[in-house]
Amino acid sequence: MQLQQLRYFLAVVETGHFTQAAGHLGVSQPTLSKQIHTLESALGAPLFDRIRGAVTLTTAGSALLPYARRMVADADVARDEVRDIVGLRRGEVRLGATPSLCSSLVPAVLRRFRAAHPDIALNVTEGGSPDLIAGLLAHTIDLALIVASEGGVDPGLEAAPILRENLVVASAAAGPPPTENAQLAFGELEHLSLVMFRPGYDLRDATLEACRRAGVTPRFAVEGGEMDAVLAFVEAGLGVAVVPGMVLANRPLLRATPLAPPGMRRTLALAHRRRAVLPHAAEALRVTLLDHLGDALPAGVQAL
């Protein structure tokens, strides 16, 4: 049985006449009759009695009718569902991002995406890069904004660098600056109390590695938080923190002090599963993100 044959069958049932059904379908009567005959041959039974111009269902036709209606209705619903998804009239996109990006870049991107696609549901997973990579591999995330590492990512993923940003030293604006100079030499961190991120956090690992290379032994005032907590601790005057410059854009209670050369930078990448076609909503979000990065970015941030 073919779906088209079932549509022809239902048209004859609804009109009670082959000629009228053919006109309704926009086909010739011989074409319609041939398709009905092919359907009857496939089922092994006549579907209609044709007596003196009247068309009525046979027992076999009556048995087929409810199934034909259900199959055609299901096909129509499936078609409409797919068209809605392809046309971005419905669907869901699952984005993963690090906490620093969730509090800086992501809100503006999602606002732009929602303005263009108001019917797409947004699901955001916040976490460190290792957790986001695991989510991509487990198919619980479609796209993820991660911190690019020198060792690359899992071979099952593709990660395209999208921007590079400078890290700065955040301190409480109400307190004294962390240095008398315009830039803070990395060695000066040894004399400051650090508010440090929890173990496994990308910025913790990057800061501790930079300290090791510089021969600096960091002194922690507080440790264990994620981005919002760390910034709140710095605002309270508990210490300073090494953070991306973007997260301080709307934090008037915090001061950003650049690091002296060579400074600290990180590269952010947009990752997804390799050899997988992105869902239409996820692809639309990817394009929106890249368009946003093409616009003006804060100082210290470079689109790649």
What is the reported pTM?
0.68
Please give the distance of CA 258 from its chain centroid, rounded to a whole number: 32
pLDDT digits (tens, 9 = 90+) for 255-286: 999 999 989 999 999 999 887 778 888 888 99
Same fold, 3-86 and 92-164+266-303: no
Partners of 124 in the β-ladder: 95
- The torsion angles phi and psi of 259, rounded to 5 degrees, stand at -85, 140
**Nearest alpha-carbon partner for 83 in 272, 280, 232, 294:** 280
Q: Is the pLDDT of residue 144 over 80?
A: yes
Q: Which fold has domain 92-164+266-303?
A: D-Maltodextrin-Binding Protein; domain 2 (3.40.190)
Q: Where are the alpha helices (DSSP H) in 215-295?
A: 227-235, 280-294
Q: How far apart are CA 264 and CA 100, in angstroms?
A: 16
pLDDT at residue number 177: 94
* Predicted confidence band of residue 25 (pLDDT cuts 50, 70, 90): confident
Q: Is the pLDDT of residue 34 over 90?
A: yes
pLDDT digits (tens, 9 = 90+) for 191-250: 999 999 988 888 898 899 999 998 999 999 999 888 999 999 999 999 999 999 989 988
Q: How far apart are CA 115 and CA 118, in angstroms?
A: 6
Please give the distance of CA 157 from its chain centroid, rounded to a whole number: 15
Per domain, the residue ranges of the chain are: 3-86, 92-164+266-303, 165-265
Beta-strand runs (E) in 53-150: 54-57, 92-97, 121-126, 143-147
Regarding the domain with residue range 165-265, which homologous superfamily does it belong to in the CATH classification?
Answer: Periplasmic binding protein-like II (3.40.190.10)
Q: Which fold has domain 3-86?
A: Arc Repressor Mutant, subunit A (1.10.10)
Partners of 145 in the β-ladder: 97, 270
Percent of the chain clearing pLDDT 70 (strictly above): 95
pLDDT at residue number 274: 87
Exposed/middle/buried for 121, CB within 10 Å: 0-12, 13-18, 19+?
exposed
Residues in the chain: 304
